[in-house]
Amino acid sequence: MEFYNHYILPNLTHWVCSHKDITYQRKKVIPLARGRVLEIGIGSGLNLPFYDRKKIDFLWGLDPSKQLRKIAEKKAADVLFKVDFIGLSGEEIPLEKNSADTVVVTYTLCSIPDVLKALNEMNRVLKPGGELLFCEHGKAPDTHILQWQNRLNPIWKRLSGGCHLNRPVPGLLKKAGFKIQNLDMMYTSNLKLISFNYLGTAVAR
């Protein structure tokens, strides 16, 4: 498992997250980011090309994975705003209260072990009036798909670096004190087990 997690999983994650259906979703949400931006779980930096550089003052890219961050660092060299990487987890964001105008999280809430703690941290560092931009996969609305998500979740988590198939994204956001402003929900591919998408914006309450 050590070899798989270290050498195979980061490249697999980068490859899967580069899929055109996922890229299509990124393009809907990332250009909305503005000001001082914190991206949680920046991974291999696949969102970087879609930020509107005219609106970005600065970006913090937080991710605990050294291997994925290495790929992201190369991509950050091509963007026209400053990117600072933070090699830590979303559960403990090392920033002051009210430091970010925008917090971005894409395809990451599924993988954070203590997701509520991380969402509370995002809420803490977001300025009043600041926005959380999210684009995540999670709990499917169809009972038979959800049953399969629940059944396969334990094995899926082991193979995918801790990704949960069935997280109830809007419920988690509300529990952490966010007020959802916009929410689009849809299957983004025929692979229904992993493709029910929640995309939108939220503000801290």
Alpha-helical runs (H) found in 4-142: 9-17, 20-29, 66-76, 115-125
Q: Which of 29, 36, 65, 149 binds ligand SAM (CB under 6 A)?
A: 65
Closer residue to ligand SAM (CB): 116 or 186: 116
In sequence order, the β-bridge partners of residue 54 are none
Taking the CB of residue 71, how many other CB atoms lie within 10 A of it? 19
Q: Which residue is nearest to ligand SAM (CB)?
A: 43
In sequence order, the β-bridge partners of residue 62 are 40, 86
CA 90 to chain centroid, in Å, comes to: 10
Residue 40 is a binding residue for ligand SAM (CB under 6 A) = yes
- From CA 81, how far away is CA 102, in angstroms rounded? 15
Residue 134 is a binding residue for ligand SAM (CB under 6 A) = no
59-67, 144-152, 174-182, 191-199 -> range binding ligand SAM (CB under 6 A):
59-67
Within 8 A by CB and 6+ apart from 26, the residues are 46, 47, 50, 106, 135
Q: Mask: binding to ligand SAM, 92-131, rule CB under 6 A, as x and -?
A: --------------xxx--xxx----x-------------
Cβ–Cβ < 8 Å for 100, 72: no
Closer residue to ligand SAM (CB): 42 or 128: 42
| E strands in the chain | 35-40, 56-62, 83-86, 100-106, 126-137, 178-187, 196-204
Residue 59 is a binding residue for ligand SAM (CB under 6 A) = no
- The number of residues in the chain equals 205
57-65, 73-81, 120-128, 148-156 -> range binding ligand SAM (CB under 6 A):
57-65
Residue 169 is a binding residue for ligand SAM (CB under 6 A) = no
Closer residue to ligand SAM (CB): 101 or 136: 136
Contact residues: ligand SAM, CB under 6 A: 13, 17, 40-41, 43, 46-47, 63-65, 68, 89-91, 106-108, 111-113, 118
